């Protein structure tokens, strides 16, 4: 390609000469189209302006870039040299003497800039406005580092609450032991006697060559330079030990900062859960969101109007036409298709005296789809049609007698929707009551149950926060002690070195040997956690210049954190090394990505997180997440299996596996009207990110980006989970940012999205029957009861596996099985039920974790994302 682009931060010395140039850790991605035109996207920041710098090589090495404005005028770019002598080209329009710097239009306004790279190449730079400032960018970087260290120091037990605790205690003990051992060395540091030259009186003078030269210059002086002995602690062993002290101080400082940050985060989450529980318990009346109610009412009205307007423009009615009135049922799946119906006027003349078990109406194409969509909303939909129909008997595959009314001509359609009428009446009542309503007794029970779950979660957060606080205080004390030791070594004139000394002092001297042994314990823990060597130093060299790339890395660590902390998955041992290498090296945009694999034993699941995977069409989204449930043996003990007459289950009806979840990070702090939807269409339709059946979602930090709200839940202004049918959660966008005010709600958006994909992978529980009076007894001893034999699911609130006793079975109005889950660890409740319209599995996860569309004034009533049923 011959060109690479980076952000540059330049301190100017004089025109054309930079005093200091800092290059962004990550390059700016440049895409090349088929015609050879290159495209790059850069950000405009609020209060700091990193430059866009181009480095040219190969065939473009001798080219002078130039910006071409709207009038066709060329504005040459300015070459500057970095500390390594490399040439960077930056756009410049003039030198500002008062500010002692160059000014650039590209840093003050957004738009598109065309850059000529010789006579045959062109680079188009799209500058996107951003509200980000340096402090906000630093927040992303600090959160990324702290989250990575916190996850690294957790033992991979796969249980919530263990991450970031066990290894931190071990590390605290190891660092404390090293600090004590290193302090003992400082009490009696090894010293060596060196010969130095110093001034001395003649009576105590030990002459050397410098003495004779001084006597020749100044005969009879009182003091002359001569030899003297001096003790010095600046020996190789002490220099190496000071290097160890500095290393352990960096580790203690990093882990202490991470522990303190997560202590504050967990304490804040606990406070929010307690406040949420108090609010839920105090609810007597709820506010109905008028905007959402009107949007959903308009959707119902639109469907009915589409049916009524379908026959508009037809010719006048003929004498052979008549009116047909019937109630519409669900879709008929037999031969010929159509919709079930019940004739409101009794049997037709052609069928008089004949008894039919099945009645099917076959509408013209177009009307059939409109009526089917409306019927999914209103099960009591009735139609009055004026037209011609032929009614003929038929027999179903089950041998039932039926009749089919095939409409060959329809002049008018008048739908009547009881649901629409009730919603209109309900709206009038809400208007009179100020858009508030009293809660029902069932809702009060649900609120109390969710409040109890929130209090349990708060107590769990308090315990984890206390562990983090204890570790943070201990590490702060250790870091302070190591800092004092480092200062004492500095007063002794000892420099720091990472070179192991050649002498035998670390073997022969017990206090030096003890310090080295204590350091080795720290190193072993660092290596087991993945933060050994120069990992922390590498993380410290990441800068904030390329905020878009930094946001992608931050999203990566947040995805890993949700999988580990919230859902209890254990990553592969070398995952930290992969993340650090990916995040710290100045990679080219086309470098290969990597994969992190996660597992958990109960339920038996594997997770594959692909970072920058290459799709079949060559496109490269940022992340792809895929879950897979294994086929485990039954959870029951073998003895119980035999007593109950069961054979081990292997989940013969595993859930249909969705391919996966593709997530693409787009760093935008604001979106223009319709821009987010256009970006999503670009990823879905043009780039075809969902080509393998994957869901496609955009991650972005902008709040309030949803233009048309349809959900009454808390995430409706910030997230689109593809909840509107017929999207079926196939694509959407969520807000995910490091805003300190709403960081927890933002991370909850990501948990909800991953839970959406995770719950689709869970198979249906298997139920068996046992005697109500005890297992192993004959049928004559009592009635049999349904119990859960096998289950492979986990609580999306705390990550604990659902036990068999956590799962109960119920039946829908149509007799289909549905399942209730209540976590024995945190009390969180959810329900899995099939849609009565199309059979899609729906998950009701309470007020906080539900991602389906819900009714504006009945938020516990979810709406099917595939067919729109349950309005």
Asked whether residue 664 carries a pLDDT value surpassing 80, the answer given is yes
Q: What is the pLDDT of residues 700-733, one digit of tens each?
A: 999 999 988 889 998 999 999 999 888 889 999 9
Task: Select from 792, 805, 801, 803 the least CA-distant residue to 765.
Answer: 792
Asked whether residue 600 carries a pLDDT value surpassing 60, the answer given is yes
Q: What is the pLDDT of residues 15-28, one digit of tens each?
A: 888 888 989 888 88
Q: What is the pLDDT of residue 564?
A: 93
Q: What is the DSSP string of 151-173?
A: HHTS-----TTTTTTHHHHHHHH
Least reliable range by pLDDT among 64-78, 156-170, 616-630: 156-170
Q: What is the pLDDT of residue 554?
A: 95
Least reliable range by pLDDT among 44-48, 482-486, 608-612: 44-48
Q: What is the pLDDT of residue 133?
A: 74
SS percent in the chain: helix, strand, coil, step 5 = 35, 25, 40
Q: What is the pLDDT of residue 318?
A: 62
Q: Which residues contact 827 (CB under 8 A, 6 or more apart)?
A: 449, 452, 453, 456
Task: Select from 657, 602, 646, 644 the least CA-distant residue to 799.
Answer: 602
Which residue has tokens 């979660």? Answer: 457
Helix (H) and strand (E) counts in the chain: 17, 37
Q: What is the pLDDT of residues 238-294, one digit of tens each?
A: 999 999 999 999 999 998 998 888 888 888 889 989 999 999 999 999 999 999 999
As a whole number, the mean pLDDT across the chain is 84
Q: What is the pLDDT of residue 771?
A: 60
Q: What is the pLDDT of residue 420?
A: 93
Q: What is the pLDDT of residue 379?
A: 85
Mean pLDDT computed over 550-564: 94
Where residue 741 falls among pLDDT bands split at 50, 70, 90? low
- Joined together, the tokens standing for residue 625 give 């997440």
Q: What is the pLDDT of residue 820?
A: 93
Q: What is the pLDDT of residue 656?
A: 46
Beta partners for residue 809, in sequence order: 819
Where residue 47 falls among pLDDT bands split at 50, 70, 90? low
Beta partners for residue 700, in sequence order: 735
Where residue 641 falls among pLDDT bands split at 50, 70, 90? very low
What does DSSP say about strands 223-232 and 192-201: parallel, antiparallel, or unpaired? Answer: antiparallel
Top mean pLDDT of 66-70, 373-377, 475-479, 737-741 is at 475-479
Mean pLDDT computed over 493-498: 92
Asked whether residue 348 carries a pLDDT value surpassing 80, the answer given is no
What does DSSP say about strands 841-844 and 829-834: parallel, antiparallel, or unpaired? Answer: antiparallel
Q: How far apart are CA 636 and CA 804, in angstroms?
A: 9
Secondary structure class of 552 (helix, strand, coil): helix
Asked whether residue 313 carries a pLDDT value surpassing 60, the answer given is no
Residue % of the chain over a pLDDT of 70: 89
Where residue 170 falls among pLDDT bands split at 50, 70, 90? confident
Q: What is the DSSP string of 223-273?
A: EEEEEEEEEE---HHHHHHHHHHHHHHHHHHHHHHHHHHHHHHHHHHHHHH
Q: What is the pLDDT of residue 137?
A: 84
Mean pLDDT computed over 347-356: 54
Q: Quick check: 570 and 596 in contact, CB under 8 A?
A: no
Q: How far apart are CA 650 and CA 632, in angstroms?
A: 6
Task: Sort 630 into a burial class: Cβ within 10 Å, 0-12 / 13-18 / 19+.
Answer: middle
Instruction: Considering only residues 684 and 232, tell me which one the structure prediction assigns the higher pLDDT.
Output: 684
Task: Select from 576, 624, 501 the least CA-distant residue to 237.
Answer: 501
């Amino acid at each position: 390609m011959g060109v690479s682009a980076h952000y540059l931060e330049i301190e100017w010395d004089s025109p054309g000469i930079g005093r200091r140039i800092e290059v962004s850790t990550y390059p700016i991605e440049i895409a090349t189209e088929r015609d050879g035109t290159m495209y790059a996207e850069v950000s405009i920041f609020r209060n700091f302006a990193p430059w866009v710098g181009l480095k040219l090589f190969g065939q473009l090495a001798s080219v002078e870039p130039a910006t071409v404005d709207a009038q066709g005028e060329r504005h040459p770019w300015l070459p500057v040299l970095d500390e390594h002598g490399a040439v960077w080209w930056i756009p410049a329009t003039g030198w500002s003497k008062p500010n002692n710097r160059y000014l650039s239009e590209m840093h003050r306004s957004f738009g598109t800039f065309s850059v000529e790279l010789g006579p045959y190449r062109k680079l188009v730079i799209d500058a996107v406005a951003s509200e980000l400032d340096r402090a906000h960018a630093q927040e992303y970087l600090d959160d990324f580092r702290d989250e990575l260290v916190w996850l690294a120091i957790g033992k991979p037990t796969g249980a919530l609450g263990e991450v970031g605790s066990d290894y931190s205690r071990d590390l605290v003990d190891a660092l404390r032991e090293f600090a004590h051992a290193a302090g003992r060395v400082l009490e009696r540091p090894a010293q060596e006697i060196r010969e130095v030259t110093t001034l001395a009186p003649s009576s105590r003078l030990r002459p050397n060559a410098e003495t004779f030269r001084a006597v020749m210059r100044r005969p009879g002086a009182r003091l002359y330079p001569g030899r003297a002995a001096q003790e010095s602690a600046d020996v190789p062993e002490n220099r190496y030990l000071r290097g160890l002290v500095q290393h352990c101080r960096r580790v203690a400082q990093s882990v202490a900062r991470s522990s303190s940050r997560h202590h504050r985060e967990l304490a804040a989450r606990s406070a929010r859960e307690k406040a949420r529980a108090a609010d839920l318990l105090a609810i007597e009346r709820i506010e109905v969101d008028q905007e959402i109610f009107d949007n959903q009412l308009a959707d119902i009205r639109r469907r009915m109007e589409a049916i009524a307007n379908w026959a508009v423009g037809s010719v006048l009615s003929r004498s052979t036409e008549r009116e047909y009135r019937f109630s519409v049922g669900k879709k008929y799946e037999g031969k010929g298709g159509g919709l079930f119906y019940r004739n409101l006027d009794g049997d037709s003349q052609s069928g008089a005296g004949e008894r039919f078990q099945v009645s099917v109406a076959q509408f013209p194409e177009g009307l059939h789809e409109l009526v089917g969509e409306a019927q999914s909303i209103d099960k009591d939909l009735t139609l009055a049609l004026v037209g011609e129909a032929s009614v003929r008997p038929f027999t179903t595959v089950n041998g039932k007698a039926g009749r089919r009314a095939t409409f060959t001509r329809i002049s008018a359609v008048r739908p009547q929707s009881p649901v629409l009428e009730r919603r209109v009446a309900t709206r009038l009542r809400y208007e009179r009551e100020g858009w508030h309503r009293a809660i029902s007794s069932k809702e009060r029970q649900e609120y109390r149950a969710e409040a109890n779950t929130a209090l349990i979660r708060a107590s769990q957060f308090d315990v984890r926060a206390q562990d983090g606080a204890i570790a943070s205080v201990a590490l702060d004390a250790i870091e302070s002690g190591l800092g004092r030791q480092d200062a004492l070594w500095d007063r002794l004139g000892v420099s720091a070195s990472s070179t192991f000394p050649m002498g035998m002092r670390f073997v022969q001297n017990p206090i030096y040997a003890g310090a080295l042994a204590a350091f080795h314990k720290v190193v072993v823990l660092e290596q087991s956690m993945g933060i050994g060597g120069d990992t922390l130093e590498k993380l410290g060299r990441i800068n904030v210049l390329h905020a878009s790339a930094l946001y992608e890395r931050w999203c990566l660590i947040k995805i890993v954190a949700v999988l580990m902390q919230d859902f209890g998955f254990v990553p592969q041992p070398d995952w930290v090394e992969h993340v650090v290498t990916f995040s710290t090296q100045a990679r080219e945009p086309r470098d290969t990505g990597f994969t992190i694999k996660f597992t958990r034993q109960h339920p038996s699941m594997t997770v594959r997180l692909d970072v920058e995977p290459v799709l079949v069409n060559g496109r490269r989204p940022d992340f792809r997440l895929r879950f897979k449930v294994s086929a485990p043996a039954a959870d029951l003990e073998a003895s119980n299996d035999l007593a109950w007459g069961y054979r081990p289950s292997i989940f013969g009806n595993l859930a249909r596996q969705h391919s996966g979840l593709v997530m693409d990070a787009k760093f935008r702090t604001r979106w223009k009207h319709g821009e987010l939807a256009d970006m999503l269409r670009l990823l879905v339709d043009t780039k075809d990110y969902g080509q393998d059946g994957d869901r496609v979602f955009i991650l972005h930090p902008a709040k309030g980006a949803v233009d048309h709200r349809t959900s009454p839940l808390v995430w409706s202004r910030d997230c689109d989970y593809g909840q509107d049918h017929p999207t079926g959660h196939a694509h959407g966008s969520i807000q995910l940012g490091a805003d300190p005010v709403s960081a927890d709600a933002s991370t909850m958006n990501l948990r909800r999205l991953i839970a959406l994909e995770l719950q689709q992978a869970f198979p249906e529980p298997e139920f068996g029957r046992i005697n109500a009076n005890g297992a192993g007894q004959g049928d004559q001893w009592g009635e049999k009861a349904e119990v859960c034999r096998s289950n492979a699911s986990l609580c999306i609130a705390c990550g604990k596996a659902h036990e068999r006793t956590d799962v109960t079975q119920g039946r829908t109005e149509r007799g289909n099985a549905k399942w209730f889950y209540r976590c024995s660890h945190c009390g969180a409740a959810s329900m899995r039920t099939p849609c009565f319209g199309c059979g899609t599995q729906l998950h009701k996860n309470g007020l906080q974790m539900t991602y389906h569309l819900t009714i504006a004034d009945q938020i516990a009533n979810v709406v099917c994302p595939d067919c729109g049923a349950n309005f």
